[in-house]
């Protein structure tokens, strides 16, 4: 049976303007990096998509190489788009990206015009879409002039293949440069997509203030530090967890004794707020004035529901914030630091 969206889908979700633009994003957005790949989308992942939309999550984030295998998250999403979601296309913000390794040879990654445009075309085909709402340069390419990557983004924007342009994991310096280049061409960067969480704080020094100043939105990815900001690793590595997957982005070695001690301390603070650690981690990210939306991943509807319930308590007292700042710092888990090191 074809999916029919809940008539209550806009009753509880809150939305924020993306920087100083008119585009609103839900406080929680859903990413399809993990759990949506493979030869077909699992029944549970489909349920996650539908339940997310039923809860007012209007934004789904993808990239060329989400899977595994590369491209399969987009292909699977494209099938669901065609069978169930096409009638809601104008209610959805769908994003994709190019920049990381996608196909063999010199044009299969990075920021050349050749790669970025070909990748965008491939993504649209896989997702059964005429356009994406947001198209990102996925990482800064030190061996391609920013002007060339900007050429590609401009072409994608002017041809209507994307309504808005974003950058991901660019430093404040490179964001400002790209912002100026595109502004001179009459295009405003809508949004930046950096990693950000209680234990990954790199944006606070330069990037967040820069984005506020420029009126650029900010969607924080991995607000749960890929699941570390939950109770799941307190008693070892569970069989079903990202850290235990064969092909994974969460190296078990990141879950050190020192990190676990911090996570347990954070958990005690969360309990006093009447939240789970994951819920507090989401609420905390949204407390930063630069942040438009927290971009989460989930394995199942249970995690989705728990995370949505984080939005019921977004307020922090001054003393809670001070305590959190004393407890959690940058804990060396930012895998995307190379891109923002320029």
Ligand X SMILES: NC(=O)c1ccc[n+]([C@@H]2O[C@H](COP(=O)([O-])OP(=O)(O)OC[C@H]3O[C@@H](n4cnc5c(N)ncnc54)[C@H](OP(=O)(O)O)[C@@H]3O)[C@@H](O)[C@H]2O)c1
| Of 185 and 260, CB closest to ligand X | 260
The Cα–Cα gap between 181 and 153 comes to 11
| Of 92 and 185, CB closest to ligand X | 92
User: Least CB distance from residue 300 to ligand X, whole Å?
Assistant: 8
| Of 267 and 278, CB closest to ligand X | 278
Q: Where are the alpha helices (DSSP H) in the chain?
A: 43-54, 72-80, 113-127, 146-158, 172-184, 207-214, 257-272, 277-286, 301-308, 318-327
What is the CB neighbour count within 10 angstroms for residue 41? Answer: 21
| Of 185 and 201, CB closest to ligand X | 201
Bridge-partner residues for 24, per DSSP?
Answer: 17
User: Least CB distance from residue 37 to ligand X, whole Å?
Assistant: 11
Q: Which residues bind ligand X (CB under 6 A)?
A: 31-35, 61, 138, 168-169, 193, 221-227, 230, 232, 241-242, 278, 295-299, 303, 306-307, 336
User: Least CB distance from residue 267 to ligand X, whole Å?
Assistant: 12
The Cα–Cα gap between 146 and 138 comes to 13
- State the Rg of the chain over Cα: 19
Using CA atoms in the order 322, 327, 332, 333, what is the torsion angle rounded to 10 degrees? -90
| Of 57 and 224, CB closest to ligand X | 224
User: Least CB distance from residue 318 to ligand X, whole Å?
Assistant: 26
Strands 217-221 and 189-193 come out as parallel
User: Least CB distance from residue 28 to ligand X, whole Å?
Assistant: 10
User: Least CB distance from residue 99 to ligand X, whole Å?
Assistant: 8
| Of 32 and 94, CB closest to ligand X | 32
Tokens of 44: 């549970």
């Amino acid at each position: 049976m074809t999916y029919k969206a809940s008539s209550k889908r806009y009753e509880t979700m809150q939305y924020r303007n993306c920087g100083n633009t008119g585009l609103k994003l839900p406080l929680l957005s859903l990413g399809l990096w993990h759990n949506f790949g493979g030869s077909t989308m699992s029944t549970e992942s489909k349920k996650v998509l539908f339940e997310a939309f039923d809860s007012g999550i209007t934004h789904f984030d993808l990239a060329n190489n989400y899977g595994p295998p590369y491209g399969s998250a987009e292909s699977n999403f494209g099938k669901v788009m065609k069978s169930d979601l096409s009638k809601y296309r104008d209610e959805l913000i769908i994003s994709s990206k190019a920049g990381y390794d996608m196909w063999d040879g010199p044009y299969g990654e990075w920021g050349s015009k050749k790669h970025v445009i070909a990748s965008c075309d491939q993504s649209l085909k896989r997702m059964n879409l005429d356009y994406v709402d947001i198209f990102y340069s996925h990482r800064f390419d030190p061996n391609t002039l920013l002007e060339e990557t900007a050429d590609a983004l401009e072409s994608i924007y002017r041809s209507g293949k994307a309504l808005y342009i974003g950058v991901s994991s660019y430093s404040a310096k490179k964001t400002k440069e790209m912002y100026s280049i595109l502004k001179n061409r009459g295009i405003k960067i809508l949004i930046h997509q950096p990693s950000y969480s209680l234990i990954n704080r790199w944006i606070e020094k330069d990037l967040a203030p820069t984005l506020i100043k420029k009126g650029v939105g900010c969607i924080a990815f991995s607000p749960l530090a890929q699941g570390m900001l939950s109770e799941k690793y307190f008693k070892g590595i569970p069989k079903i967890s990202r850290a235990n997957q064969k092909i994974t982005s969460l190296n078990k070695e990141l879950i050190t004794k020192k990190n676990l001690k911090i996570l347990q301390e954070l958990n005690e603070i969360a309990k006093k707020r009447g939240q789970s650690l994951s819920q507090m981690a989401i609420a905390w990210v949204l407390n930063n004035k630069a942040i438009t939306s927290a971009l989460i991943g989930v394995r199942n509807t249970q995690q989705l529901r728990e995370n949505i319930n984080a939005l019921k308590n977004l307020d922090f007292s001054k003393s809670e914030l001070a305590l959190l700042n004393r407890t959690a710092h940058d804990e060396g888990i930012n895998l995307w630091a190379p891109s923002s090191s320029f």
